Amino acid sequence: MTAKATVTPLPRSRIAAFDPGLPATERQAHLVAILPPALQDLLARGRTERRPRFGEDGFDGMIELWTPPDGVTAAQAAQARQALEEFSATVLAPVDGDHLLGRVLTLLSHFPAKGLTAEVERMMALDWAEDLGEYPAWTVDAAARLWRRTRKWRPSIAEMRALCEEICAPERALADRLQALAAAAPRPDMRPGNMRPGTLRAMTSGALRRMG
């Protein structure tokens, strides 16, 4: 029988001290600092590769691909999964619907549109809430504040999504790296010898269906 790895949750008090008003590099450094030392070491030893990205209109900038170092253990992967769950439930938790709708309505009120009825404005705000609902509240607030202070025209949803993506990019990049670490070693209960009969076959056929 394989011993179950003990995973210590991240200190919520230190996660709560996360300050979205700090520069991006400092925010990311704060989150890395509360991780277990083993994860900090793995993140530091990972390999980063820059590759061009191409969209429908051709070259669309460079992207960074991060690869975990060799030798990630099952216990370390479990730590990464735990950390990712903690971050997803706190720093990267999607914004509350009421907060988002209020923020959108307030932002749009600074740039009134002529000829729109109150009902159309409300429906537009619901579209905004749907399209921005994946981002954390602090990201939406920061994007609205930045637009208010630097733009003279009414924003589009696409423009606000781009701002939100840019603002929370460091936190999402860290989450992606934790996900890569979590997938770098199999979970003890998902190893072939520990699976129930038929589980591996079902997983394989599911993967083949997704590839087809």
Domain locations in the chain as residue ranges: 23-92+171-191, 97-167
Residues in Cβ contact with 94 at an 8 Å cutoff, skipping those fewer than 6 apart: 133, 134, 135, 136
Say if residues 83 and 10 touch (Cβ distance below 8 Å): yes
Its pTM stands at 0.77
DSSP letters along 29-46, please?
HHHHHTS-HHHHHHHHH-
Mean pLDDT of 21-34: 92
Q: How confident is the model at residue 195 (pLDDT cuts 50, 70, 90)?
A: very low
Say if residues 84 and 182 touch (Cβ distance below 8 Å): yes
Q: Is 86 exposed, middle or buried (0-12, 13-18, 19+ CB in 10 A)?
A: buried
What integer pLDDT is reported at residue 78 of this predicted model? 95
Among 1.10.10, 1.20.120, 3.30.420, 1.10.8, what is the CATH number of 97-167?
A: 1.10.8
Q: How confident is the model at residue 206 (pLDDT cuts 50, 70, 90)?
A: very low
**pLDDT, tens digit, 9 for 90 and up, residues 45-102:** 999 888 787 777 777 777 788 999 999 999 999 999 999 999 999 999 999 999 998 9
**pLDDT, tens digit, 9 for 90 and up, residues 120-144:** 878 888 898 899 999 999 999 999 9
**pLDDT, tens digit, 9 for 90 and up, residues 148-189:** 999 999 999 999 999 999 999 999 999 999 999 999 987 665
Print burial letters for 146-181: b (CB count within 10 Å at least 16), e (below 16): ebeeeeeeebeeeebbebbeebbebbbebbebbebb
Say if residues 108 and 144 touch (Cβ distance below 8 Å): no
What integer pLDDT is reported at residue 64 of this predicted model? 80
What integer pLDDT is reported at residue 203 of this predicted model? 37
